Homo-oligomer: A and B are copies of this chain.
Amino acid sequence: MSDRAYAFFEEQQKARGINIDEVKARLKALKIETPSWGYGDSGTRFKVFQKEGVPRNPFEKFDDAAQVHKLTGIAPSVAIHIPWDKVDDYGKLKIHAESLGLSIGAVNPNLFQDEDYMLGSVTNSDAAIRRKATNHLLECVDIAKETGSKEFSLWFADGTNYPGQGHIRKRKAWMQEALAEMYGALSPDMRLLIEYKCFEPAFYHTDLADWGMAYNLAQKLGPQAEVLVDTGHHLPGANIEHIVAYLLDEKRLGGFHFNSRKYADDDLIVGTVNPYELFLIFYQIVSAAGDSDAGVRQNAESITYMIDQSHNIEQKIPAMLRSVLNVQTQLAKALLINHDEVNEAAERHDVLGAEDAVRRAFEFDVTPLLHAIREEQGLPHDPMKAYLSSSYGKDILARGKGGASW
């Protein structure tokens, strides 16, 4: 049935003027980084439920991540979190990763779990704490040099819960100061990806609250600093794809942390709350990838796609598979947009025609296409099914409970 399905799909898309070979090539080029902490226990402030079989150390996290890559072919790197993934010998971790066909991706400093950071890390009014925090950033640069990582995902929990608690403008200066020091330590091929978040764990003000603050800071730091968009870090109603298009136009979109939100930073599996929004994000990216400005095109091609979620109740590896597959699905749909059709409708002020030309691509079932490219790459048609019918999930139960949590 699958072959017929694909043949029919191809015929249908070619009739629409879609270059199916290009679509396939771009789908095959997609790379989604999974986070080491996504394989461990996580939860809400009310409870972290403990799962059996959760990895007990960074090496086992890579083992699990390797399953996701083996079955999907598009998850070749793993982000690490320091100190959660602290090891004595990063060279060893790197070799372990490579032995599994993986590389070590973005390094994520952790500046929110030390008692000292209760009122801020790099924006703390205590200079000694700021120093400690900045040193941790520098330490992460050193680790990256050992692991071969080229990127840093910088999320700061820094902010305040009450008016007066902190001096907003001074904190702004301290943030810049710390990051400038870190920036100075980068190798020329490294990138800082600056993340923003509207709230949580700070509930009055967050030092880097929105894309504008992250972008402005990136500009001040220099060309190796870019903005990281976490899809869950926006206020209700925010048009994320607009922000994405804006940053691409400014050539400052560094990457994504994918997840889904319905209410706050819910950190659900990407693509489960409003899959159309994910599709519309990719629509902007695909549009930019075909721009006349080489810089915009280059930015669109160099985005780092990362998963960053909290699998509170789901099985960890299947949750990650589902996430990676959902991202792939929406990119596949976005690649079926006929941009000429959209733009021509827009230019003749045909609002409904333009909307339809976008939405129609979303309506296609891309399953046959995904089966086809997986087949071409020697991957199982249905990675989730393949995983569930493998013994891996059962084998790791031997690890017991009480593994790593974030």
Contact = CB atoms under 8 A, between A and B. Distances in A.
Interface in A116-167: 118-119, 125-126, 157, 161-167
A125 B345 CA distance: 11
Contact of A365 (B200, B355, B364): B364
Copies of this chain present: 4
A229 to B, nearest CB: 13
Contact of A216 (B125, B248, B250, B277): B250
Nearest to A284: B168
Interface centre among A50, A118, A125, A162 (most CB of B within 10 A): A162
A137 to B, nearest CB: 18
Contacts of A43: 45, 201
Given A8-B8, A167-B346, A199-B264, A162 B272 contact: yes
Interface string A237-258: 1110110011011100000000
A235 B212 CA distance: 14
A179 B280 CA distance: 28
A86 interface: no
Interface stretch (A93-101, A186-194, A312-320): A312-320
A165 B351 contact: yes
Interface centre among A15, A163, A205, A329 (most CB of B within 10 A): A163
Q: Interface size for chain A: under 10, 10 to 19, 20 to 34, or 35 or more residues?
A: 35 or more
A181 interface: no
A61 to B, nearest CB: 19
Contacts of A345: 164
Interface in A208-241: 209-213, 215-216, 235-239, 241
A312 B166 CA distance: 16
Interface string A34-59: 00000000111111011000000000
Contacts of A162: 268-269, 272, 351-352, 354-355, 358
Given A119-B313, A216-B215, A263-B199, A239 B205 contact: yes
A165 B313 CA distance: 11
Contacts of A346: 125, 164-167
Interface string A336-377: 000000110111010110111111001111010000000000
A402 interface: no
B169 A263 contact: no
Contacts of A125: 346-347, 349
A322 interface: yes
A315 B165 CA distance: 13
Given A200-B263, A235-B238, A263-B264, A119 B349 contact: yes
A15 B4 CA distance: 15
Interface centre among A199, A212, A284 (most CB of B within 10 A): A212
A211 B113 CA distance: 31
B268 A161 contact: yes
A129 to B, nearest CB: 10
Given A47-B113, A162-B355, 19 more contacts: A44-B201, A46-B112, A49-B115, A118-B313, A119-B351, A162-B358, A164-B342, A164-B358, A165-B355, A198-B263, A203-B262, A203-B266, A209-B242, A212-B215, A216-B250, A263-B264, A276-B276, A318-B352, A356-B384
| Nearest 8 pairs of A and B residues by beta carbon | A212-B212, A236-B236, A164-B358, A235-B235, A203-B266, A164-B354, A162-B355, A44-B201
